[in-house]
Amino acid sequence: MAQVYIAIGSNQADPMAQARQAIQALASLPASRLLAVSSLYGSKPMGPQDQPDYINAVALIETALAPLALLDATQAIELSQGRVRKDERWGPRTLDLDILLYDQAIIESERLTVPHYGLTQREFVVYPLYELSPELRLPNGQAIAVLKQQLPANGLSVLAEV
């Protein structure tokens, strides 16, 4: 069983409800178990600022699913919650689920990069990761606690517990 951290983000169609529904869907994944979920955070959008703020969280699951099978499952959850994939990067979306870490694996394939390529630069990922696992170290040895100290909150705020 692998321990996997998954980022959750939404800024469309009742983002708070989208995030909570995604957490329930993650808890229902086959051959998997939801271990923990961070608080729900409010954050400013990346990229175009002419879109609503985001609701973000990080979930920790334990799974027997292989990385690409897990990716397929998370993309199916996104689609079931109205996600439409567009060419526009960082645009508004009903739901975004990103595999941040899959144990200590380093995965670089056409479909999946783990650790997630933006993990260390995104406060809306680092802060919830720290909340869940303050002792966490990335596969390259970086401590999440040090990353959190170095990364400004940029308006990030805790909105609710799950």
Write out pLDDT tens, residues 23-80: 999 999 999 999 999 999 999 988 777 889 999 999 999 999 999 999 999 999 999 9
Of 72, 93, 103, 111, which residue is the catalytic one?
93
Identify whether 111 is a catalytic site residue: no
79-83, 111-115, 131-135: the lowest-pLDDT one: 79-83
Is this model's pTM higher than 0.85 or not? yes
- Name the region of 96 (left: φ>0; alpha: ψ -120 to 50; beta: rest): beta
Count helices and strands in the chain by DSSP H and E runs: 4, 8
Cα–Cα dist 23/147, whole Å: 25
Confidence category of residue 162, pLDDT binned at 50, 70, 90: confident
Residue 130 host element (H or E): helix 123-132
- How high does pLDDT run on average in the chain? 94
Of 98, 103, 111, 137, which residue is the catalytic one?
98
Question: Could you tell me whether strands 32-37 and 157-160 are parallel, antiparallel, or unpaired per DSSP bridges?
Answer: unpaired
pLDDT at position 92 over 90? no
**What's phi and psi for 134, nearest 5 deg?**
-60, -20
* Measured CA distances, 154 to 39, 44, 127, 150 (Å): 17, 8, 11, 12
Domain count, the chain: 1
Single-letter code of the amino acid located at 24? Q
Mean local confidence (pLDDT), 124-148: 98
pLDDT at position 90 over 70? no
The pLDDT of residue 87: 59
* Measured CA distances, 121 to 37, 92, 118 (Å): 21, 19, 6
Please report, rounded to a whole number, the percentage of residues in the chain having pLDDT higher than 90.
Answer: 86
Q: Give the chain's end-to-end CA distance (angstroms, integer).
A: 24
Mean local confidence (pLDDT), 8-18: 96
CATH (domain of 61): 3.30.70.560
Identify whether 20 is a catalytic site residue: no
Range of the domain at 99: 2-160
Of 20, 83, 89, 103, which residue is the catalytic one?
83
The pLDDT of residue 50: 82
Of 33, 85, 96, 111, which residue is the catalytic one?
96
